[in-house]
Chains A and B, each alone.
Chain A
Amino acid sequence: MLNYFKNMWLGVYTVLVGLRLTLIHLFSRNVTVQYPDERYPIPPNARNRLYLDPELCDACLRCAKACPVNCISIESLRAVPGLTPPLKNGDKRNLWVTHYEIDFAKCCFCGLCTEPCPTNAINTTTEFEYSTTKREDLIYTFVKMSDEEKKEKEEQLAIYQAEQKKKKAAEAEAKAKAEAEAKTKAVNETKNDN
């Protein structure tokens, strides 16, 4: 009998406690963020879409090697020393990047590519809303040289290489000449000694 009254009291009391709790929540601040209209601030070190600064990239391929899923593909061309502008940060440009693309369908946003980059050309950004309906649209081409440009660069390189070859050949000739001269000199000296 005592249990009966106790149950009844508990029934009423716990309902009142619950009602008080829900009433407090009814008038407390809502936590919903209305996403497309307002959004959470993204921390600046968030690892989202990658960005490559073409003016800083020297095509050293370290990012492509670091990538665990092989989503970065780079093609490059040797640069001609005299005719090549330096990189944005003033470093010497050794290679021209003719083609640089990242496939974000493959990318796992690990950020390993940003670490070995000597010039900080590749970086993670906070941009994350870039879904598309086609998989091809996720392949981002950051650098793509036109064929003419490429041809020009190749010609320049060919001329340079030819020049270098000539130079080398001339040098080699000069060297050989000098050696031969030295030899004859030495021979003459020994002759004189005798």
Chain B
Amino acid sequence: MEQNFVNMLIENPWIAALIIVVIPLVFVVIYALIAILGELKIASFVQERLGPMRTGWKGTMQPVAEVVKLLQKEDITPDAADKPLFNLAPFLMFAAAFAGFAVIPFSPYFLPAGIELGLFYVFAIGSLGVIGLVMGGWASNNKYSLLGAMRSVAQIVSYEIPAAIAILSIATLSGSLNLNVISDNQSGWFWNWYIFGGPGPWWKILVIPFTLGLGLIYLISTLAETNRTPFDIPEGESEIVAGYHTEYSGMKFAMFFFAEYANMFIVAAILMLLFFGGWNSPFGDFLNQWWMQPVWFILKAFFWVFLTIWLRWTLPRLRVDQLMYMSWKVLLPWGFVCFFAVSLFVMLK
């Protein structure tokens, strides 16, 4: 399988590498703007409002206006802050989120870095974001920032374990850690997706409940990892102001913002690659041409983003103890049960 179409088109490896890096960056910025608009509009439609209507056609330029506003704002560094760490934290967080794109295959012909351990890499680099988060919270020298960072870290660290188990089960099922190979395994109709047990003999029906459960476990854990609503305790206006980014303003705040949305897309992409067939069309060869595959991939990922926004305006937040109960007493044991079932299935297949 060809790894990258840019390498085929351009001879010079340096220019090709630059283009490969820039494509996801441009994509992240555009996607973040769309996601912000989606967040505003879906929020208001759920509450039967209209949302922003004045900027551009039906308010579609609102996220652009917001980003421009953030860029113009004064960049404040508190006197008591640890300046190098304070300035490094948003950069580190965005870099960690952006580095995840290195192994996300938008189509079989576009995989920025063709490493075999893609799944492992994306999980490892995703955890780097936690360091940026706690760094920002600590260096701000503000009690709310510190408390918010601690809550955030406690949450992300606990929820990484069920997510890892879900990923591990799919790795056993597919026998590979290369995300492109995992996607390729699920080609064909949608019943070949790993959420429906992957390709296999008819008695794979027995494993479907477990893979469905794994999908649900991974979905819930990623919600917590990206600090989305039922699990958004790192922020809390009435308790700890804005959490770890209380002291940030202007461009640095925008970096945190973009990192959060980029993370959202990464986990959406991973969910789609692992459970929902990645860049494959759900209907066999129908619309499965090379130019349609990235569209399928982005559409599927956007569906997940829509789901998280939809969930945000549906559910209240969990208490901290409920959060821990959910992770350690519900998701983790059931994750293990599903893992064993899937492993047994793979052994017998």
Q: Which residues on A are within 8 Å of B, measured CB to CB?
A: 4, 8, 11, 15, 18-19, 21-23, 25-32, 34
Contacts and interface: CB of A to CB of B under 8 A. Distances in A.
Q: Which 5 pairs of residues, A with B, have the shortest CB-CB distance?
A: A32-B50, A18-B314, A22-B314, A31-B48, A22-B46
Nearest to A23: B310
Nearest to A4: B329
B309 to A, nearest CB: 10
Nearest to A22: B314
30 contacts: A4-B329, A8-B330, A11-B330, A15-B311, A15-B315, A18-B315, A19-B310, A19-B311, A19-B314, A21-B314, A22-B46, A22-B313, A22-B314, A23-B310, A25-B47, A26-B42, A26-B45, A26-B46, A26-B310, A28-B48, A29-B48, A30-B44, A30-B45, A30-B48, A30-B49, A30-B50, A31-B48, A31-B49, A32-B48, A34-B53
A27 B41 CA distance: 12
A49 B50 CA distance: 31
Contacts of A19: 310-311, 314
Interface string B45-70: 11111100100000000000000000
Contact of B49 (A4, A15, A22, A32): A32
Interface string B323-337: 000000110000000
A34 B46 contact: no
Given A19-B310, A28-B48, 11 more contacts: A8-B330, A18-B314, A22-B313, A25-B46, A26-B46, A29-B48, A30-B49, A31-B49, A32-B48, A32-B50, A34-B50
Contacts of A25: 45-48
Nearest to B54: A34
Contacts of A18: 314-315
A15 B50 contact: no
B70 to A, nearest CB: 26
A39 to B, nearest CB: 15
- Which residue, of A4, A18, A23, has the highest number of chain B Cβ atoms within 10 A? A18
B228 to A, nearest CB: 14
Nearest to A17: B314
A179 B315 CA distance: 103
Nearest to A12: B216
Contacts of A23: 310
A4 B310 CA distance: 27
Nearest to B334: A8
A25 B310 CA distance: 11
A193 to B, nearest CB: 106
Interface string B299-332: 0000000000011011100000000000001100
Contacts of B47: 25
A138 to B, nearest CB: 29
B132 to A, nearest CB: 31
Contacts of A31: 48-49
Contacts of A15: 311, 314-315
A126 to B, nearest CB: 25
A135 B239 CA distance: 43
